[in-house]
A = this chain, B = another copy of it.
Amino acid sequence: MKISKSKDQSRVIIEHVSPQLSGGKHPISRVVNEEVHVTADVFGDGHDVVQAALLYQNKNAKKWQEVRMQPTVNDSWEASFTVQKQGVYAYKVIGWVDHALNWQDGLQRKLEDGQYVYSELQDGAQYATAIKKSAKGVAKELMQQAEEAFIDETRYDEAVEIGKSEQLQTLFTVHPQRNTITESDTFSIYVDRPKARFSTWYEFFPRSASEKPNKHGTFKDCERLIPRVANMGFDVLYFPPIHPIGEVNRKGKNNATEAEKGDTGSPWGIGSHLGGHTAIHPELGDLSDFHSLIKTAEKHGIEIAMDFALQAAPDHPWVKSNPEWFKWKPDGTVQYAENPPKKYQDILPIHFESNKWKPLWDELLSTALYWVDQGIKIFRVDNPHTKPFLFWGWLIQEVKKKNPEVLFLSEAFTKPKVMQQLGKQGFTQSYTYFTWRNNKHELQEYMHELTQTDMKEYFRPNFWPNTPDINPWELQTKHESIYLFRHFLAATLSSNYGLYGPVYEFMDADAVPGKEEYLNSEKYEYKHWDWDKETKISHLITKINAIRKRERALQQTNNIVFLETENDNLIAYLKWDQARENYIVCVVNLDPYYRQQGQIHLGRDLLQTEEHQQLQLTDLITGNTYDWTSYKNFVELGPELPYHLFRVTW
């Protein structure tokens, strides 16, 4: 074993630095101004005083910032810092035997035991000498005094006073004397802009945006709808792919294998003789229309999210220009997408195992960067779990190098570990199982997994009650109360949520029999909507989105505790912001048919206030106020307005 002095002589062990993912292989996620609370086990041999510090820096900074850690229990230490810039941060923990503090600690014990400590004081002079060099002003003078008094037996009493003083302890702490240091591994953080954590999505098909029936919608039509979306309180507007739709093997209405004349096909069948992933479907408009739309949206506080769907129609330009990016069978035909026995003849998967993978990766990156240049800062990535994880890790990192503000939403409805891995590879947000979590137990269990396990460090959920691909059984009932509370749950459990509209607010949920799919889905045809129509659902969406913008407790997901309600039909939860200045209690009646009563248990410890503190609860939807004087509080909710959204004050 090679012995290098500094490292092998270190006497401190650092273990279990938390948070960290896979020993630091992946960064944890934060947004600007979010706190990073770090714990670690730090201990030394023997009885000497050990100290620890947390070091952190923005990747572009030259120096590490240092925060002293504090011991908690059983050799565990903690400290926090706040990340203030977008981009990559690093952090690590250091520990050392602090000889100066150790000397003072021993001195004090001996003094308490009545021992004569002149020999110890002499020994302590070295620390005064060391600190004198870097200290200034009063501190420097005190060190000068200590240096002299400690070695002068005639000044014993004075020396003892200095030796045991708090002042000296402070100086020892501010000017640590470190002979050897133990350093943990270095871990990293990716810091996003705040929208990564707090965003409100709306999705519609631009081709259904026309004012007139039987007319293909355009970007101009969409632009006209921007105020509607903004008024409802959404700040991200996501469109299915806007590229030319393949004409070969195009799907017909209701996913028919053969399209009829006039069928518009699926927007996810990307590419034709009119262009590929960097082109715009001509019926929607042109690039300048798209620019204009982005600009108008921006004026209304809305960002356009683009669908990044890496697959090709059989007539996509890539198939001819780069046949090596697709898989060809021995019979000379190209491999279309399949999940045997299912076949998707209108789509060719990209062959990532191609020998020409490097130019492929570069092309896909340049596609993303092209749209970033057009003003797109949010990508909703279609089926990322059917492309290699490492490709995503690379692409996202490359995009963010010059564009740290770009966000990626992972549309992976698949196995838990696969979805988690995409978060680790850099996806900013992810679709979730919320769509299928209905009863109280399921919801609480899932929220626990998202917010109380290490998923909270890298996996930001985005809750969608519906999507064009999923028309859940519960919503197929077209029961208004369900639409109200499913939206409410999405919007208050998770700070990121989205709706596929206007089918949601219009309860337009006819289904393919026996399937969680929309009948006459917009995926295969355009529709005509009465965009001016208002419903109770749209009214409450608007109201709740407005509340989300005011209440900081709803702008984050992880600070949540579920409250006992004494009734399985009532789910209740408390949320709070990082500063603990805003407390929200939500109560939801999950029974769409009957009124439900319960007792909400709200321990005052959760509010960090006194045991018998009287609380005022203001329902931000109705404006009603309630005094909660005890630990248990009666609540009754009916299907017509199945929730309370309380701000808690005292």
**Chain B residue at minimal CB-CB distance from A120:** B329
- Indicate if the CB atoms of B390 and A8 lie closer than 8 Å: yes
Q: Beyond A1-B398, A122-B331, is A179–B110 a contact (Cβ under 8 Å)?
A: no
Determine how close the nearest CB of chain B comes to the CB of A329; give it in whole angstroms.
6
Could you tell me the distance between the alpha carbons of A386 and B11 in the complex, rounded to whole angstroms? 10
Could you tell me the distance between the alpha carbons of A415 and B389 in the complex, rounded to whole angstroms? 42
The interface-forming segment of A111-119, A285-293, A455-463, A579-587 is A111-119
**Chain B residue at minimal CB-CB distance from A383:** B46
Interface residues of A in 286-342 (CB under 8 A from B): 329-331, 333, 338-341
**Chain B residue at minimal CB-CB distance from A112:** B341
Q: Which residues of B contact A119 (CB under 8 A)?
A: 329-331, 333
Where the two chains meet, the residues of A that have a C-beta atom closer than 8 Å to any C-beta of B are 1, 3, 5, 8-11, 13, 15, 22-23, 41, 43, 45-47, 74-75, 105-107, 109-110, 112-113, 115, 119, 122-123, 125-126, 151, 179-180, 329-331, 333, 338-341, 352-353, 357-358, 361, 385-390, 394, 397-398, 415-418, 421
- Indicate if the CB atoms of B390 and A43 lie closer than 8 Å: no
Determine how close the nearest CB of chain B comes to the CB of A289; give it in whole angstroms.
35
**Chain B residue at minimal CB-CB distance from A11:** B388
Q: Beyond A74-B415, A75-B415, is A387–B9 a contact (Cβ under 8 Å)?
A: no
Q: Which listed residue, B45, B112, B341, B394, touches A115 by the CB 8 Å rule? A: B341
**Chain B residue at minimal CB-CB distance from A338:** B106
- Indicate if the CB atoms of B330 and A417 lie closer than 8 Å: no
Q: Which residues of B contact A331 (CB under 8 A)?
A: 119, 122
**Chain B residue at minimal CB-CB distance from A105:** B340
Could you tell me the distance between the alpha carbons of A329 and B123 in the complex, rounded to whole angstroms? 6
List 20 interface pairs A-B (beta carbons < 8 Å), by A numbering: A1-B394, A1-B398, A5-B357, A8-B394, A9-B353, A9-B390, A10-B388, A11-B353, A11-B390, A15-B22, A15-B421, A43-B415, A45-B387, A45-B418, A46-B385, A106-B338, A107-B340, A119-B329, A179-B353, A180-B353
Determine how close the nearest CB of chain B comes to the CB of A339; give it in whole angstroms.
5
Determine how close the nearest CB of chain B comes to the CB of A425; give it in whole angstroms.
9
Could you tell me the distance between the alpha carbons of A106 and B390 in the complex, rounded to whole angstroms? 25
Determine how close the nearest CB of chain B comes to the CB of A555; give it in whole angstroms.
31
Q: Which listed residue, B110, B123, B341, touches A113 by the CB 8 Å rule? A: B341
- Indicate if the CB atoms of A10 and B390 lie closer than 8 Å: yes
Determine how close the nearest CB of chain B comes to the CB of A383; give it in whole angstroms.
9
- Indicate if the CB atoms of A109 and B341 lie closer than 8 Å: yes
Q: Which residues of B contact A105 (CB under 8 A)?
A: 340
- Indicate if the CB atoms of B339 and A47 lie closer than 8 Å: yes
Q: Beyond A45-B418, A151-B330, is A11–B110 a contact (Cβ under 8 Å)?
A: no
Q: Which residues of B contact A112 (CB under 8 A)?
A: 341
**Chain B residue at minimal CB-CB distance from A349:** B46
- Indicate if the CB atoms of B9 and A357 lie closer than 8 Å: yes
- Indicate if the CB atoms of A123 and B330 lie closer than 8 Å: yes
Determine how close the nearest CB of chain B comes to the CB of A366; give it in whole angstroms.
15
Q: Which residues of B contact A151 (CB under 8 A)?
A: 330
Could you tell me the distance between the alpha carbons of A53 and B180 in the complex, rounded to whole angstroms? 42
Residue of A107, A341, A385 most packed against chain B (CB within 10 A)? A341
- Indicate if the CB atoms of B417 and A41 lie closer than 8 Å: yes
Could you tell me the distance between the alpha carbons of A179 and B354 in the complex, rounded to whole angstroms? 11
- Indicate if the CB atoms of A125 and B387 lie closer than 8 Å: no
Q: Which residues of B contact A109 (CB under 8 A)?
A: 340-341
Could you tell me the distance between the alpha carbons of A404 and B95 in the complex, rounded to whole angstroms? 33
